[in-house]
């Protein structure tokens, strides 16, 4: 049986709590109720974060552990992982939830490796089974299949949770205790990599929505290495890269905002080039307003081909390098 405590790793960027931090408290509350009234603890790292801690305490956290240190002001993987590994070795939690964000995704993986435990990424649901184990539900194959992942023997059971799945708790749900943690473990660490500053990136949704040429990649692209071919093509054409759900789930793309379709964005480029995409209706609704659709698919029966103005039936790996070379010659 799980002990009555669920841990959440909250995050701040530039002194602001990220929305997923509050959603994680919502997820923790659901699990805490399934456990018959467990408490919810969260940990936050940063500098001058007392106010943020109080905010978390008033949004349902029973205990808020703060690692307050100037060295933690910006996300630094080595410092953050060092602190959290020690912290969780001390706390011995059964369950730890993280946001499926760029920062927490990387950090959770580092900490999971150091704690020698498992980690399920991008969970869309969480619940306990009859044995009290955390069931980590992960969508696969473009959401067609939901996989239940268990971590039966290693501890803690850790999961990153997709943003926008769980509801945040309202302000006023609880008045938790604030506990300051010792950060002197950082003294012996000289990080090889250091974040110097955080700058807000141009809204990439807008750049994808406004691009005259969009190169879309799907499951058929096959790997992150192959994905660089799409990025090269798009940059030569002054365009942007979008993706399907499976390509997003594989982590080949720049993030959720690049997914095109019913659950993603709708685009209206002059030219859309779909590569390794079957043409599921969920994706097609996002590209139907493109002025011209070109697709490359090795299966002549792929639905996207009949939706396209021009279709190439081929392995894209045999087509793209030559196309890129030709465009480079002409530019």
259 touches ligand FAD (CB under 6 A): yes
Angle between helices 224-236 and 316-330 (to 10 degrees): 30
Nearest CA among 64, 74, 50 for reference residue 21: 64
Angle between helices 77-91 and 102-115 (to 10 degrees): 50
239 touches ligand FAD (CB under 6 A): no
Given candidates 120, 136, 168, 297, which one binds ligand FAD under the rule CB under 6 A?
A: 297
The tokens describing 32, both together, are 């805490």
Give the interface segment with ligand FAD, choosing from 85-93, 99-107, 164-172, 280-288 (CB under 6 A): 280-288
257 touches ligand FAD (CB under 6 A): no
76 touches ligand FAD (CB under 6 A): no
| Tokens 């390794």 found at | 276
Given candidates 53, 176, 218, 311, which one binds ligand FAD under the rule CB under 6 A?
A: 218
139 touches ligand FAD (CB under 6 A): no
142 touches ligand FAD (CB under 6 A): yes
244 touches ligand FAD (CB under 6 A): yes
Given candidates 46, 239, 276, 311, which one binds ligand FAD under the rule CB under 6 A?
A: 276
| Tokens 């039966």 found at | 152
Q: For ligand FAD, which is the closer residue by CB, 234 or 278? A: 278
267 touches ligand FAD (CB under 6 A): no
Q: For ligand FAD, which is the closer residue by CB, 166 or 219? A: 219
For residue 104, the Cα-to-chain-centroid distance in whole angstroms is 8
d(CA 230, CA 215): 7
Given candidates 213, 277, 293, 320, which one binds ligand FAD under the rule CB under 6 A?
A: 277
247 touches ligand FAD (CB under 6 A): yes
49 touches ligand FAD (CB under 6 A): no
Residues that bind ligand FAD (CB under 6 A): 142-144, 218-220, 244-247, 259-264, 276-278, 280, 282-283, 296-299, 302, 315-317
């Amino acid at each position: 049986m799980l002990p009555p405590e669920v841990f959440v790793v909250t995050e701040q960027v530039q002194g602001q709590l990220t929305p997923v931090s509050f959603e994680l408290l919502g997820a923790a509350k659901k699990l805490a109720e399934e456990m018959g009234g467990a408490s919810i603890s969260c940990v936050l790292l940063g500098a001058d974060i007392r106010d943020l801690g109080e905010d978390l305490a008033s949004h349902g956290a029973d205990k808020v552990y703060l690692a307050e240190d100037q060295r933690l002001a910006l996300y630094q993987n080595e410092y953050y992982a060092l602190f959290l590994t020690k912290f969780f070795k001390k706390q011995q939690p059964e369950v730890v939830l993280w946001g499926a964000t760029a920062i927490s995704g990387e950090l959770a993986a580092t900490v999971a490796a150091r704690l020698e435990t498992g980690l399920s990424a991008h969970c869309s649901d969480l619940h306990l089974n009859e044995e009290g184990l955390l069931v980590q539900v992960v969508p696969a194959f473009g959401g067609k299949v939901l996989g239940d992942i268990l971590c039966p023997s290693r501890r803690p059971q850790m999961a990153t949770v997709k943003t926008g799945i769980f509801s945040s708790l309202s302000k006023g749900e609880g008045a938790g205790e604030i506990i300051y943690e010792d950060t002197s473990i950082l003294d012996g660490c000289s990080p090889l990599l250091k974040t110097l500053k955080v700058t807000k990136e141009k809204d990439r949704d807008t750049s994808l929505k406004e691009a005259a040429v969009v190169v879309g990649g799907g499951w058929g692209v096959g790997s992150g290495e192959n994905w660089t071919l799409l990025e090269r093509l798009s940059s030569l054409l002054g365009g942007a890269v979008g993706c399907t759900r499976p390509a997003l789930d594989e982590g080949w793309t720049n993030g959720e905002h690049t997914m095109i379709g019913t659950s993603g964005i709708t685009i209206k480029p002059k030219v859309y080039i779909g590569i390794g995409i079957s043409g599921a209706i969920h994706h097609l609704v996002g590209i139907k307003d493109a002025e011209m659709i070109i697709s490359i698919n090795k299966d002549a029966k792929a639905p996207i081909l009949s939706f396209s103005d021009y279709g190439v039936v081929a392995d894209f790996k045999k087509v793209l390098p030559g196309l890129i070379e030709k465009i480079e010659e002409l530019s």
